[in-house]
């Protein structure tokens, strides 16, 4: 008696996962005297997520450039020190030239945990947000346990609250150095008009809101230690005052009461 069709074995082909065109991911590192922490930072970057790492050296006095080349990074060397904002301008210019669809900025001082890059990029890919920040302050206890000075924590909380109100956002940490962007953001906002100093970051986020991009954040562990870069109290005061000025510019521009170049689209 032959097997009935009900009992016959049927071969079901296994469906192979289809690789999606997820876009090119480039990590950029604005670097200055990062030799002591660079290798550890690079080791934590998920290799299966990031296609290229670009390090822009702002005239370091240590062996940052030599080490970066040994690690196989794409290295750009500034002939003169341009400052933190000026360094980012070189980072983003090169990333766009290299065909990046998603750009993530990682400080090479090992302060931010770069293992979360994949989570940030996935949110961008899903178009849930256009800009993702890593929030160092999930809780006060964790932030202080990570080494954040108490005065810096208080200043961050006050300034972040002010920025959330002025810009209509709900971010946990406006001053994080871990940031990821969709290419469209860098092609739209006039970041080339920004300062070369630390306030570049505040201007960039205000510009992102002004031009209608969606901002979000993810928790990211942070480490404060001697080798991690950090601006001193006097520079923090200057940064804070400049950030308040940026917020006032944003509000005046939105109300069409003034015209500032940081909110003016570049000519095509």
Q: What is the pLDDT along the chain (268 residues), one digit of tens a residue?
A: 445 444 444 444 444 444 345 799 999 999 999 999 999 999 999 989 999 999 999 999 999 999 999 999 999 999 999 999 999 999 999 999 999 999 999 999 999 999 999 999 999 999 999 999 999 888 888 888 888 889 889 999 999 999 999 999 999 999 999 999 999 999 999 999 999 999 999 999 999 999 999 999 999 988 887 665 567 788 889 999 999 999 999 999 999 999 999 999 887 5
Specify the 3-state DSSP secondary structure of 44.
helix
Specify the 3-state DSSP secondary structure of 42.
helix
Q: Which residues pair with 135 in a beta bridge?
A: 219
Q: Going by DSSP bridges, is the β-strand pair 52-57/25-31 parallel, antiparallel, or unpaired?
A: parallel
Q: Which residues pair with 215 in a beta bridge?
A: 131
Q: Going by DSSP bridges, is the β-strand pair 179-182/102-105 parallel, antiparallel, or unpaired?
A: antiparallel
d(CA 38, CA 224): 15
Helix H or strand E segment including 68: helix 64-70
Helix axes 233-254, 200-210, angle to 10 degrees: 20
Domain ranges of the chain: 25-263
DSSP tag of 85: H
- 70, burial (CB in 10 Å: exposed 0-12, middle 13-18, buried 19+): exposed
Residue 206: how many other CB atoms lie within 10 Å: 26
Please provide residue 209's backbone torsions phi and psi, each rounded to the nearest 5 degrees: -70, -45
Nearest to 191 by CA among 72, 69, 28: 28
Give residue for tokens 């256009």.
Answer: 130
On the CB side of 259, CA atoms within 13 Å amount to: 2
User: Looking at domain 25-263, which of 3.90.550.10, 3.90.1150.10, 3.40.50.12370, 3.30.2030.30 is its CATH number?
Assistant: 3.90.550.10
d(CA 167, CA 198): 19
Specify the 3-state DSSP secondary structure of 216.
strand
Is the pTM value of this prediction over 0.85?
yes
pLDDT given at position 17: 40
Q: Is 265 left (phi over 0), alpha (psi -120 to 50) or beta?
A: beta
Give residue for tokens 């192979």.
Answer: 16
């Amino acid at each position: 008696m032959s097997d009935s069709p009900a009992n016959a074995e049927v071969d079901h082909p296994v469906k192979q996962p289809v690789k999606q065109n997820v876009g090119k991911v480039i990590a950029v590192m604005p670097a200055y005297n990062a030799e002591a922490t660079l290798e550890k930072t690079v080791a934590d970057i998920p290799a299966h997520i990031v296609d290229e790492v670009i390090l822009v050296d702002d005239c370091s006095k240590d062996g940052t450039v030599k080490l970066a080349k040994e690690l196989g990074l794409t290295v750009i060397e500034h002939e003169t020190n341009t400052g933190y904002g000026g360094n980012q301008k070189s980072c983003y210019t090169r990333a766009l030239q290299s065909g990046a669809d998603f750009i993530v900025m990682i400080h090479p001082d090992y302060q931010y945990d770069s293992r979360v890059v994949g989570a940030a990029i996935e949110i961008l890919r899903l178009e849930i947000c256009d800009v993702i920040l890593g929030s160092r302050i999930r809780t006060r206890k964790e932030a202080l346990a990570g080494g954040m000075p108490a005065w810096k924590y208080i200043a961050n909380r006050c300034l972040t609250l002010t920025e959330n109100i002025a810009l209509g956002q709900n971010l946990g940490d406006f001053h994080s150095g871990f940031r990821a962007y969709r290419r469209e953001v860098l092609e739209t906002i006039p970041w080339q008009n920004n300062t070369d100093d630390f306030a570049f970051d505040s201007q960039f986020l205000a510009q992102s809101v002004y031009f209608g991009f969606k901002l979000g954040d993810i928790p990211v562990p942070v480490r404060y230690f001697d080798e991690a870069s950090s601006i001193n109290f006097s520079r923090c005061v200057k940064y804070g005052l400049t950030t308040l000025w940026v917020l006032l510019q944003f509000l005046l521009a939105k109300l069409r009461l003034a015209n500032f170049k940081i909110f003016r689209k570049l000519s095509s």
